[in-house]
Structure 1
Amino acid sequence: MSEDFTLDPELCHLNHAAVGPWPRRTAEVVARFAEENAHAGSLAYPQWLEVEQRLRERLARLIGAVSPADIALAKNTSEALSVIAHGIVWRDGQNIVGIQQEFPSNRIVWESLATQGVEWRGLDLDASSDPEADLMALCDDETRLLAVSWVQYASGRRLDLERLGTYCRAKGILFCVDAIQGLGVLPCDVQRFQTDFLVADGHKWLLGPEGLALLYVRPELRETLTLRQFGWHMVEQVGDFDQVDWVPAESARRFECGSPNLLGIHALEASLSLIEELGPETIWTRVQECTNHLIEAIDRRGFELLTPSDPALRAGIISFRVPDRSAEPLYRALMQRKVLCACRGGGIRFSPHFHTPLSVIDRAMEILDEILAAPPAS
């Protein structure tokens, strides 16, 4: 699997939860696209649109959607969440339930609805031993939406989407999932999870570029969202520029107001071709090998594991804290030694993927040992 990547051998890439590396094929596709554009302009535009359609088909299969028509392509997760938040017709006094420790995109967008009299209620995940039950307990008769991340960006804590989705469907509560830290690692099925909305950027575990994201809206709900963005690309008769009496597209394309990001589309489609060839079960098995190996290394050193050790409660993120050492200086030292990681939630966050050799994890931990053994800078 590592032969599909051309990473610098001196680099320990353990940061897929931030920005993942492109596979070899993705870099080659982007280079060909650029060369083609430089020499022939948009002569191949019809073929470019075929790649766009293939991307929608791959994304639909990846999440278990019924049809590629259920897939919209947004610029990023924040935009996709905003389409949902400001598309729902709210009533004064309604509320949204979520998690306090969410990445800002999954908090700010809901807090912005306060001007419409909508309350955002955040569960303190750090104080909860059963987040699913506690999220349900925060809901009441005025709860319109439950909005959570599948996997928390800092702690790596994974939620039971099937349990939450079953509850929401039974109570008539809309269910929105930010899947950015799970999609590409874990098998996904929006039908089984009973998600009404699912969003995910392509630049993390999907190994694609920034600037392109998935937006899934359950087909029965598409027309209930008020459109806030308009343009030539979101109409049913797309390409008929003389059409005067326009209507929004019946498909999820209604949420795409303007020209598609065809460069990003070529890149993400290529990356997903690799993910689809391997299959979600194979990828998840391999990621578990990496994370189990990492947890064993953390435990041997007596570090504090911030991510649940139970595989059912985690995905690809492993966060830990070194006792009596501040995380920020350790993070900076690791980055200086080409250990690509992150500082999140007061700890060091490593996030290996299916292609990460176990030897890279071992080398990263050995480098951390050397940093800890070195005398503090004067």
Structure 2
Amino acid sequence: MAPSGRGLPSRRGSLSRRGVLAAGVLPAGAAVGAAGLPRAGTPPDGPVGFAVEGTYLDAAFTHPVGDFAADAAARYVEARRRDPQAVGPRANPRRGAVERFARLINAAPADVAVVPSTLVGENMLAASLGLGPDAGVVTDAFHYDGSLALYGELARRGAPLTVVAPRAGRIDLADIRAAIAPKTRLIAVSLVSGVTGFTHDLAELCALAHARGVLVYADIIQAAGAMPVDVQASGVDFAACGTYKWLMGDFGAAFLYVRPDRLDRLARVEVGWRQVVRQASHVLPFEPPGPALGAYELAGGAAGLFEVSTPAWGALAVAQASLDHILAVGVADIAAHRRPLIDRLQAELPSRGFRPLTPAGAPGPVVAFAARDAAARYGERLRRRDVRVSVYEHRIRISPSVYNTQDDIDRLLVALAD
């Protein structure tokens, strides 16, 4: 099989685990084919891009940090070590990280705010929209479990809530349409479910919702960086994504996208220095007279509403580097590399007694299977073989990424058969 894309070496029909995402940088002596990639069967001798140990097929839990991101983190810490004020309100990686994320999802940087995590962003959005007794939510059972708890608590306080159940492993748009009620203000979903890998048709969902005057929020943490996401083409109103999964970054930072023509529907619910554009004091010597409160002005836009206080500058430095890497390689090529790995799992595991939970052909990076007593039966086997996937009581979730090869799938299948 030909290499799957620029910067993606090929071996057994997939990337060389040790040469993944080299972005054109190869160890001396590596055999190079016509496309500037290692020839099949001749992977680089040393790790390039990622140094993850064992067989790691759990990027949906947290993605390994690449060498490019580790280097950025080291530079950030060294700068802070040498100069405590090297990073601050006027010199920081926030703008660079936001610009790159905006490019990844086809948004304007002005429409992206930095928040501490995906779920913090969703909580802030719920408060900003005034969800409550007169403003309800429709969601589905494949949404993030923390989000379901959020809406469950809002329902206890009187917010109308409908949770759509799956049918045949899918969330049917007809069921979402039927769940919309006069008081429904928001439909909240995970674009790619972290539970099963089911993927919504976001454009169709938004068209359905908007025709009824309802807004749409998408958690895109299991999608952005792993598959193409275009917020403008989909029409989605709000979306959030942490940096530690498919953005290949670290914990502590996330991005919240707000469609600009929806800003007038949002209320400011938290206030902090990140929102203050000018402020004047009237209580110290030589200051002009005025009220003790002083005078201040708050910013508008996505950042003006949702950025409150000091973000994790270090996580944003890492995200800037990892997003550079993803953009250079190309999300389409990343997805194309992963496809044969997931296809093989979907082809082989059912004959071994694993019940598929992910619809065939789902474009996301997650594939899941039901297996009775999965944790008890397979947890120790996988640990002995140093193979890491997400194992739950009656389910396993596998999420290969750019550093994985068919050899890793071989090792997983052997571990499950032990």
Give the TM-score taking structure 1 as reference length.
0.89
Q: Which residue of 1 aligns with 2:404?
A: 356
Secondary structure in structure 2 of the residue aligned to 1:28 = helix
Equivalence map 1:104-253=2 (5 Å): 104-114=145-155, 117-126=158-167, 131-237=172-278, 244-253=294-303
Classify 1:330/1:160 alpha carbon distance in 2 versus 1 (closer, same or farther; 3 Å). Answer: same
Classify 1:245/1:221 alpha carbon distance in 2 versus 1 (closer, same or farther; 3 Å). Answer: farther
Q: Which residue of 1 aligns with 2:74?
A: 31
Secondary structure in structure 1 of the residue aligned to 2:269 = coil
Deviation string, structure 1 residues 26-55 (Cα, Å, up to 9, x no partner): 011111211221122223557842x22111
Mapped to 2, the partners of 1:79 and 1:301 lie a distance apart of 40
Q: Which residue of 1 aligns with 2:352?
A: 301
Q: CA deviation at 1:271?
A: 0.9
Question: Does the Cα contact within 8 Å between 2:59 and 2:246 map onto a contact in 1?
Answer: yes
Mapped to 1, the partners of 2:126 and 2:63 lie a distance apart of 28
> Does residue 318 in structure 1 map to residue 364 in structure 2?
no
Letter paired with 2:223: G
Question: Does the Cα contact within 8 Å between 1:20 and 1:205 map onto a contact in 2?
Answer: yes
Q: Which residue of 1 aligns with 2:101?
A: 59
Q: CA deviation at 1:304?
A: 2.1
Classify 1:84/1:236 alpha carbon distance in 2 versus 1 (closer, same or farther; 3 Å). Answer: same
Structure 1 stretches lacking a partner, 5+ long: 371-378
Classify 1:276/1:335 alpha carbon distance in 2 versus 1 (closer, same or farther; 3 Å). Answer: same
Q: CA deviation at 1:332?
A: 3.9
Secondary structure in structure 2 of the residue aligned to 1:133 = helix
Question: Does the Cα contact within 8 Å between 2:238 and 2:257 map onto a contact in 1?
Answer: yes
Q: Which residue of 1 aligns with 2:327?
A: 276
Mapped to 2, the partners of 1:40 and 1:352 lie a distance apart of 39
Deviation string, structure 1 residues 304-350 (Cα, Å, up to 9, x no partner): 222112x2x3411111234x653444134313432111124721111
Q: Which residue of 2 aligns with 1:375?
A: none
Question: Does the Cα contact within 8 Å between 1:154 and 1:344 map onto a contact in 2?
Answer: no
- Percent of pairs with identical residues: 28
Mapped to 1, the partners of 2:241 and 2:185 lie a distance apart of 22
Structure 2 stretches lacking a partner, 5+ long: 1-7, 9-19, 21-47, 283-293
2:416 paired residue among 339, 344, 368? 368
Letter paired with 1:335: R
Classify 1:265/1:338 alpha carbon distance in 2 versus 1 (closer, same or farther; 3 Å). Answer: same
Q: Which residue of 2 aligns with 1:87?
A: 128
Letter paired with 1:36: A
Deviation string, structure 1 residues 75-126 (Cα, Å, up to 9, x no partner): 1111100111011134634421111243222212222323653111101115
Classify 1:359/1:128 alpha carbon distance in 2 versus 1 (closer, same or farther; 3 Å). Answer: closer
Q: CA deviation at 1:190?
A: 0.8
Q: CA deviation at 1:221?
A: 2.1
Secondary structure in structure 2 of the residue aligned to 1:42 = coil
Q: CA deviation at 1:60?
A: 0.7
Q: Which residue of 2 aligns with 1:374?
A: none
Deviation string, structure 1 residues 189-223 (Cα, Å, up to 9, x no partner): 11111111101111111111111111111112224
Secondary structure in structure 2 of the residue aligned to 1:176 = strand
Between structure 1 and structure 2, the one with the greater Rg is 2
Letter paired with 2:379: Y
Letter paired with 2:133: D
Q: Which residue of 1 aligns with 2:50?
A: 5
Question: Does the Cα contact within 8 Å between 1:321 and 1:327 map onto a contact in 2?
Answer: no
How many residue pairs get aligned? The number is 361
Q: Which residue of 1 aligns with 2:61?
A: 18
Q: CA deviation at 1:290?
A: 2.0
Question: Does the Cα contact within 8 Å between 1:95 and 1:145 map onto a contact in 2?
Answer: yes
Question: Does the Cα contact within 8 Å between 1:331 and 1:342 map onto a contact in 2?
Answer: no
Q: CA deviation at 1:289?
A: 2.3
Secondary structure in structure 2 of the residue aligned to 1:147 = strand
Mapped to 1, the partners of 2:239 and 2:172 lie a distance apart of 20
Mapped to 2, the partners of 1:366 and 1:194 lie a distance apart of 44
Classify 1:115/1:326 alpha carbon distance in 2 versus 1 (closer, same or farther; 3 Å). Answer: closer
> Does residue 259 in structure 1 map to residue 304 in structure 2?
no
Give the TM-score taking structure 2 as reference length.
0.80
Letter paired with 2:186: L
Letter paired with 2:415: I
Secondary structure in structure 2 of the residue aligned to 1:181 = coil
Q: Which is richer in helix? A: 1
Mapped to 2, the partners of 1:25 and 1:91 lie a distance apart of 44
Secondary structure in structure 2 of the residue aligned to 1:343 = strand
Question: Does the Cα contact within 8 Å between 2:132 and 2:154 map onto a contact in 1?
Answer: no
